[in-house]
Amino acid sequence: MIVHRSDWEQAAARLQAGEASLVALWGEPGSAHMALLDQNEIHTLSIACDGGRYPSVGRLHPPAIRLERAMRDLHGLEPDGLPDTRQWLHHDEPYRFLPAEGESLHQIPVGPVHAGIIEPGHFRFTANGETVVRLEERLGYVHKGTEQLMAGAPLERAARLAGRVSGDSTVAYALAFAHAVEAASGVEPPPRAVWLRALMAELERLANHCGDIGAVCNDAAFVVLHAQFGWLREQVLRTAARCFGHRLMMDCVVPGGVRADLAAEGQHALRVLAALVRSRFPELVEVYDNTESLKDRTVGTGILTPALAAQFAAGGYVGRASGRAFDARRTPGYAPYGELEFDVPVVQAGDVNARVWIRVREVGQSVALIEQLLAALPTGSIYAEARPSAGEGLALVEGFRGDIFAWVRMRSDGHVERCHLRDPSWFQWPLLEAAIEGNIVADFPLCNKSFNCSYSGHDL
Amino acid sequence: MRTLLLKRLVQGPLTEPAPAPDAAALAELGAQVDRAARRRLGRSLSIREVDAGSCNGCELEIHALNNIVYDLERFGLRFVASPRHADVLLVTGPVTRNMREALERTYAATPDPKWVVAVGDCARDGGIFAPSPACVGGVSRVVPVDLHIAGCPPTPLALLSGLLALLEDASKNR
Ligand code: SF4
């Protein structure tokens, strides 16, 4: 819906008042778009940017600030009243970190190249002795210009790009993109494809949760669990490769359906995997839960308050560990989850331990979902050809990290005119800055891993 | 009780006969890498990983090299935290404009003799991101590359055989 300045400003005011949540905010030359979650429904607003200007949303609602800085960089849109006008994704100008004043403060710059095998980003700590007084993140190092590459891309190439926004969530991204394209062109994927997609999505969640729970244990110097959870992750990836031909299942989900069908042998492998996780996982969790030295590190560390999680509409385990009961599989919901039984675990504590626990519980749910999906897998084709037609579509898909938003505008020749993909990390990264405050510097890796935000997904 | 449980946990997967069809190839490859590394360097090989713009897919598989299934360290290959301790830079991604300087500085900080391995299709020539003005292109646009390991992302086994190829080549040209 194209709106006037006053309606746009009113929407920003409603976000500020907490009456609606910000789902996405993006631009293109000449106009800006916003998606809101209001009464469990997603609404979009568009505004024409006369002279490249529009009223800043971040002025009233801080979660929008980084998005608007990115829109400035990418499309030259000027948000009137934006409180922070430093570049964000572009790094052409010297960067001014926020000043910190006070007695006996010192700064610790970290990155962009980090000590471990992780993505690049810069963290500027201001510390008072051991205690973090402020963390300021600087991101954008892996900005690849994905949105620009999407503009005008043939559908097949665009789908491959979507699957490479954040490699750990390649299934979820490909799915979000496919949903948006299908909404734009009115194509319906066959039932079997819909169920196979869900199988892949749950496998991806399982692999990431297993790996990351182990990595959190590793950052708390508990290596045994890291090894064991890592072994489970490897079993998931090998099963995925056997079933769908690729360990991370890249390019398996495409607009119109899926690329690879699941043979009987693959179904058997998935049942074996589900049984394996059911037998191994609980005893590992028991060790986690009964190891005081480990809990000592994770309980009470890096607390994110429910108020902040709600303000930023934080998705995934970051939100659900701080009382925000949101899961895109339920709201707005998509097939086939309406026909499946699963819980969305929520706790209030908001610390590292709570984020681990949410993921522990979600592993159980994903295994149960995989079993349900296998038990009632529809037969039939796995792909429906889309007739090229112009149109717009959007989608919200629950990746392991949280809700991924996709918006696409298709041209009549079947190419993508514009596409925007919003990673859940946009609303989680700023919260990490808040959660680390008052913790010791040495606990940062642990807090960071418990959030596990995406750099590439965010930097686009 | 807990000690028992832990012991069983530790023993379980390690003593389990490896079910994967590539287990034999893996063991053979690993032994070769170890021999070649010793011939070349007389010790183990230290690797520093640099993400210069990856989608993180390549990192996930490099990580897998360290899990207990592949257990890279048993072959004398070891990831280190600083380029100053490294023999090999393992570089992923289409090099982004924003990572170019960091990659150059990491390369400069690595002592000679050093090798650069470009990992993944993006690292070869920018891959699917090549046309983007936000990317510089393949790793060789920024630092000299000794070897490229193909794949999107390369599997852990492909990574291991790539490291072997590097060592063979390096010892031949000595
Ligand atoms: S090669 Fe593939 S997995 Fe590796 S960074 Fe490029 S897109 Fe990601």
CA atoms of A284 and A273, how far apart (whole Å)? 16
Is residue A73 domain-shared with residue A175, that is, in the same domain?
Answer: no
Is residue A76 domain-shared with residue A158, that is, in the same domain?
Answer: no
pLDDT tens digits, B95-152: 999 999 999 999 999 998 899 999 999 999 999 999 999 999 999 999 999 999 999 9
One-letter identity of residue A50: D
Distance A374 CA to ligand 1 centre (A): 30
Domain limit, last residue, from A24, A53, A80: A80
- Tell me if A98 sits within 8 A of A136, measured CB to CB: yes
Q: Which of B5, B49, B51 sits opposite A283 (nearest CB)?
A: B5
CA atoms of A419 and A414, how far apart (whole Å)? 13
Shortest distance between the Cα of B68 and any Cα of chain A, in A, equals: 6
- Non-local CB neighbours of B53 within 8 Å, separated by 6+ positions: A141, A142, A144, B92, B93, B94, B95, B96, B98, B99, B122, B129, B135
One-letter identity of residue A283: E
Say yes or no: CB of residue B154 within 6 Å of ligand 1.
no
The residues facing A2 across adjacent strands are A46
- Rounded to the nearest integer, the mean pLDDT of chain B is 83
Is residue A272 domain-shared with residue A364, that is, in the same domain?
Answer: yes
In a domain, A379, yes or no: yes
Q: What is the dihedral of CA A49, A53, A54, A56, to 10 degrees?
A: 150
- Tell me if A341 sits within 8 A of A329, measured CB to CB: no
Shortest distance between the Cα of A400 and any Cα of chain B, in A, equals: 15
For a mutational test of ligand 1's pocket, the pick from B51, B55, B63, B155, i.e. the residue with the most ligand atoms closer than 8 A to its C-beta, is: B55
In a domain, A44, yes or no: yes
Please state whether A117 falls in left (phi above 0), alpha (psi between -120 and 50) or beta.
Answer: beta
Is residue A435 domain-shared with residue A327, that is, in the same domain?
Answer: yes
φ, ψ (nearest 5 deg) of residue B36: -65, -40
pLDDT in tens, chain A (460 residues): 888 999 999 999 999 999 999 999 999 999 999 999 998 899 999 999 989 999 999 999 999 999 999 999 999 999 999 999 999 999 999 999 998 888 889 999 998 998 889 999 999 999 999 999 999 999 999 999 999 999 999 999 999 999 999 999 999 999 999 999 999 999 999 999 999 999 999 999 999 999 999 999 998 888 889 999 999 999 999 999 999 999 999 999 999 999 989 999 999 999 999 999 999 999 999 989 988 888 899 999 999 999 999 999 999 999 999 999 999 999 999 999 999 999 999 999 999 999 999 999 999 999 999 999 999 999 999 999 878 889 999 999 999 999 999 999 999 999 999 999 999 999 999 999 999 999 999 999 999 999 999 999 999 9
- Non-local CB neighbours of B134 within 8 Å, separated by 6+ positions: A143, A144, A145, A148, B96, B97, B98
- Non-local CB neighbours of A398 within 8 Å, separated by 6+ positions: A172, A201, A315, A316, A327, A328, A329, A404
Does the structure show a pLDDT above 80 at B25?
Answer: no
CA atoms of A259 and A197, how far apart (whole Å)? 10
φ, ψ (nearest 5 deg) of residue B10: -70, -40
User: Is A227 in contact with B67 (Cβ distance < 8 A)?
Assistant: yes
Is residue A57 domain-shared with residue A165, that is, in the same domain?
Answer: no
Is residue A62 domain-shared with residue A177, that is, in the same domain?
Answer: no
Encoded tokens for A339: 């026909």
Say yes or no: CB of residue B57 within 6 Å of ligand 1.
yes
In a domain, A119, yes or no: no
Distance B121 CA to ligand 1 centre (A): 6
Long-range contacts of A128-131 (CB under 8 A, 24+ apart): A128/A102, A128/A104, A129/A104, A130/A440, A130/A441, A130/A442, A131/A438, A131/A439, A131/A440, A131/A441
Is residue A66 domain-shared with residue A154, that is, in the same domain?
Answer: no
| CATH number of the structural domain spanning residue A176 | 1.10.645.10
CA atoms of B108 and B143, how far apart (whole Å)? 10
- Tell me if A159 sits within 8 A of A178, measured CB to CB: yes
Instruction: Place B2 in a pLDDT band, splitting at 50, 70 and 90.
Output: low
Alpha helices (H) along A133-257: 146-150, 155-162, 170-185, 191-219, 223-244
Of A109, A78, A80, A76, nearest to A95 by C-alpha is A109
Cis amide linkage into residue B111, ω under 30° from 0: no
Closest CA in chain B for residue A117? B49
CA atoms of A129 and B174, how far apart (whole Å)? 50
Q: Residue B24: what pLDDT?
A: 58
A444-451 helix and A352-375 helix, angle to the nearest 10 degrees? 30
φ, ψ (nearest 5 deg) of residue A215: -65, -35
Encoded tokens for B33: 């890498």
Could you give the number of structural domains in chain A? 2
In a domain, A456, yes or no: no
One-letter identity of residue A401: R
Domain limit, last residue, from A25, A53, A80: A80
pTM of the model: 0.95
Cis amide linkage into residue A63, ω under 30° from 0: no
Is residue A36 domain-shared with residue A154, that is, in the same domain?
Answer: no
Nearest CA to ligand 1 atom 2: B152
Is residue A74 domain-shared with residue A157, that is, in the same domain?
Answer: no
Q: Which of B10, B64, B66 sits opposite A224 (nearest CB)?
A: B10
CA atoms of B159 and B59, how far apart (whole Å)? 11
CB atoms within 10 A of CB A439: 20
Is residue A40 domain-shared with residue A151, that is, in the same domain?
Answer: no
- Tell me if A421 sits within 8 A of A406, measured CB to CB: yes
B61 CA closest ligand 1 atom index: 3
B128 CA closest ligand 1 atom index: 7
User: Is B53 in contact with A117 (Cβ distance < 8 A)?
Assistant: no
Closest CA in chain B for residue A458? B55
Is residue A303 domain-shared with residue A410, that is, in the same domain?
Answer: yes
**What is the DSSP-derived secondary structure letter of residue A84?**
-
Domain limit, last residue, from A80, A98, A121: A80
In a domain, A103, yes or no: no
In a domain, A139, yes or no: no
In a domain, A19, yes or no: yes
Does the structure show a pLDDT above 80 at B12?
Answer: no
Q: Which of B82, B83, B99 sits opposite A112 (nearest CB)?
A: B99
Total residues found in chain B within this entry: 174
Shortest distance between the Cα of A115 and any Cα of chain B, in A, equals: 4
Q: Domain range spanning residue A38? A: 2-80
CA atoms of A19 and A12, how far apart (whole Å)? 10
Q: Residue A437: what pLDDT?
A: 95
In a domain, A296, yes or no: yes
Q: Residue B5: what pLDDT?
A: 58
| CATH number of the structural domain spanning residue A66 | 3.30.460.80
CA-to-CA separations, A52 to A55, A75, A77, A79, A422, in angstroms, rounded? 11, 9, 5, 9, 22
For a mutational test of ligand 1's pocket, the pick from A161, A164, A171, i.e. the residue with the most ligand atoms closer than 8 A to its C-beta, is: A164
Is residue A421 domain-shared with residue A283, that is, in the same domain?
Answer: yes
Does the structure show a pLDDT above 90 at B31?
Answer: no
Tokens 């009243």 belong to residue: A81
The residues facing A394 across adjacent strands are A407
Nearest CA to ligand 1 atom 5: B54
CA-to-CA separations, A49 to A32, A52, A419, in angstroms, rounded? 7, 5, 19
Q: Residue A395: what pLDDT?
A: 97
Instruction: Place B1 in a pLDDT band, splitting at 50, 70 and 90.
Output: very low
